[in-house]
Amino acid sequence: MNRAVPILLAIIVVILLTGGGYLIFQNQKLTKQFVKQEPGPSSIPSAQTSPSPSIVSSPSQSTKHTLKDIQENIKAAINSKNYQALAGYMKTPKVNFIIMSSSCCDPQAPDEAASQLDYIKNGVPFDFNQNSTLVNSLKAKNERLKDAYIGLSQTNEQLIGFTLDSSNQITQIEVSVSYKLYNQ
């Protein structure tokens, strides 16, 4: 009997270690599958009480989206803080990302640029009315914002601007803690 207990314990330990190793291996495989999948949201939940536009298809470089579609998706993604949804609309391999009045940043991969958008998360919700006097003034007085799709925080002074190319891909993102830094 005394000999059987250590042998039985050894068998149980081997079975537990084998099972644990198998579960860890499966977890790693699953994690790699999720990382490889391109972010392609089917919809973006709204952070506001009013309905907002939703993304109906997964963005890709081969799909041509209209300017209005891209602008609606930008507005919805920013106001829902679902920044990764924008990565598929960004120019690859790199997009310019600028934080006003800082030395940040070098051109970045779309996923990196999307994660940098956390910089403006405290400014949500943003108003993307391109006909407002303030937006028109900012565009007229600042070369980098001239062709940008600008959003201004409704709760503080934060600004975000998206510049798109002729294929309606985001080529540059500019953020600022205050629109007043642009010396209107």
The domains of the chain are located at: 67-182
The token duo for 79 is: 């106001």
Q: In the block, which residue shows the tokens 């314990």?
A: 9
Classify the C-alpha dihedral 107-111-112-115 as positive or negative.
Answer: positive
> What's the confidence (pLDDT) of residue 63?
59
Give the strands of the sheet with 170-176, arranged side by side: 96-99, 170-176, 159-164, 149-153, 126-127
pTM, entire model: 0.65
CATH code reported for the domain at 67-182 = 3.10.450.50
Quick: pLDDT tens for 127-147.
Answer: 999 999 999 999 999 999 999
- Average pLDDT value over all residues in the chain: 82
More confident residue, 85 or 48: 85
Dist CA 143 CA 172 (whole Å): 13
Half-sphere exposure in the Cβ direction for 117 (13 Å, CA): 29
36 pLDDT higher than 60: no
